[in-house]
Amino acid sequence: MAKHFITGVAGFVASNLARTLLKNGHQVVGIDNFSCGFRKNMEDFIEHPKFTFYEQDIRDITPSEVSYDAVWHLAARGELYYCRDHIGEAIDVNIKGTLKMLDFAKAANAQHFYFADTSAEYDNIKGEENYPTAEKDAPNINTPLGYYAITKMAASQFIRSYGESNGIGTTLFRYTNIYGPSMNLKRDIPPVVGSFTNKMFDGETPIVYGTGRKRRDFLHIDDLNDFHYAAFENRQDKTDSQTYNAGCGKNYEILEIRRLVYNACIKRYDGTPTGILYKPDQPNEAEITQADISKAKNDWGWGPKLSIEEGIDRTVESLWQLRRESNDGQC
């Protein structure tokens, strides 16, 4: 089996990736500095005989003296508003940190470099007729919305060029809105599914920014795990560079997501509030996100299995059980 190196391994997406690779018999080495990730995300595999963890910042990493088959670079400053308020750190981590990891991959003789890109690169595309967005659409954007998207777009260009120059295959994943158990709820503006759930279980009115009519593409973490493993199993020639959208291929109004979360919560907690607290819209946010996922379907035979209703119900159930365990059954 292959040997993998994962950055940001204590984060929501990367810890699930590590778990998936370990379950399939692979060896995994992971690093994290806990700026965004949590040790508890690794609790079930931290002692796994094929897993090794180092607490380390990607900005401090040096070229590897060990060989790896694949490097998965998922660490980043990913909060939109944090990047807006800390531009220097966003550049330092998301661009310069990526260059460090490319040097690391080259020294490790890695056959492939996988990168957590973002569908925010599509955010400046206007008009419903232009959705869903395909991978080829991003280079046509004149200005991505927000500093986060800009840093990711710059990093992705470096990755393609570096891979071609150094004979490393590269695959970039443009994630939409990934949700599910263990997602980070401590961000300044938490993921909408988790935020709604926590507010409702606290007996508080959930917050909706703007009118709630913005539409988003949501992908459950279980489907993303399958997506990642399909990407590895179907990796191309060493010098090849590819980009794939990671989404469900549909979009849903935020108010619809709130309704689905409410339906899942009320089954478990009869104190779930019925109202909505509207707040002013956030700047630099797209009106619509919807990924064209036909490339992953055609190349890998991958497609999401969970409906939005089932995915939200699973997520709410997981968060409910965590509350019951931590509060001895009290909400």
- Domain 3-178+219-246: give its CATH superfamily: NAD(P)-binding Rossmann-like Domain (3.40.50.720)
Residue 144 clears pLDDT 70, i.e. is over it? no
What is the model's pLDDT at position 188? 56
Q: DSSP assignment, residue 206?
A: P
CA angle 147, 150, 156 (to 5 degrees): 145
DSSP string, 273-284: ----EEEPPPSS
What is the model's pLDDT at position 331? 33
The answer to whether the CB of 253 falls within 8 A of the CB of 280 is no
- Which residues make Cβ contacts (< 8 Å) with residue 1, sequence separation at least 6? 24, 25, 26, 27
CA angle 250, 143, 245 (to 5 degrees): 30
- Strand duo 215-216 + 51-55: pairing: unpaired
CA 115, CA 171: separation in Å to the nearest integer? 6
The predicted model gives 272-282 an average pLDDT of: 93
Q: Using 50, 70 and 90 to split pLDDT, how confident is the model at 68?
A: very high
Q: pLDDT tens digits, residue range 30-59? A: 999 999 899 999 999 999 999 999 999 999
- Give the burial string for 68-84 (b: 16+ CB within 10 Å, else e): bbbbbbbbbbbbbbbbe
What is the model's pLDDT at position 287? 87
CA 112, CA 161: separation in Å to the nearest integer? 14
Spans of all domains in the chain: 3-178+219-246
What is the model's pLDDT at position 222? 98
What is the model's pLDDT at position 330? 43
Residue 124 clears pLDDT 80, i.e. is over it? no
- 3-state class of 216 per DSSP? strand
Residue 293 clears pLDDT 90, i.e. is over it? yes
CA 161, CA 19: separation in Å to the nearest integer? 30
Residue 93 clears pLDDT 60, i.e. is over it? yes
> On the CB side of 107, how many CA atoms lie within 13 Å of its CA?
13
The predicted model gives 157-183 an average pLDDT of: 95
Q: Using 50, 70 and 90 to split pLDDT, how confident is the model at 324?
A: confident
CA 76, CA 117: separation in Å to the nearest integer? 10
Instruction: Name the residue among 82, 17, 26 with its Cα closest to residue 49.
Output: 26
- 3-state class of 268 per DSSP? coil
Q: Which two tokens stand for residue 91?
A: 């550049």
What is the model's pLDDT at position 328? 54
What is the model's pLDDT at position 227? 98
Q: pLDDT tens digits, residue range 228-263? A: 999 999 987 666 899 999 999 999 999 999 999 999
Percent of the chain with pLDDT over 90: 77
State pTM to two decimals: 0.94
CA 193, CA 4: separation in Å to the nearest integer? 31
Instruction: Name the residue among 52, 5, 61, 13 with its Cα closest to residue 33.
Output: 61
What is the model's pLDDT at position 151? 93
What is the model's pLDDT at position 142? 58
Instruction: Name the residue among 234, 5, 1 with its Cα closest to residue 106.
Output: 5
The predicted model gives 296-306 an average pLDDT of: 97
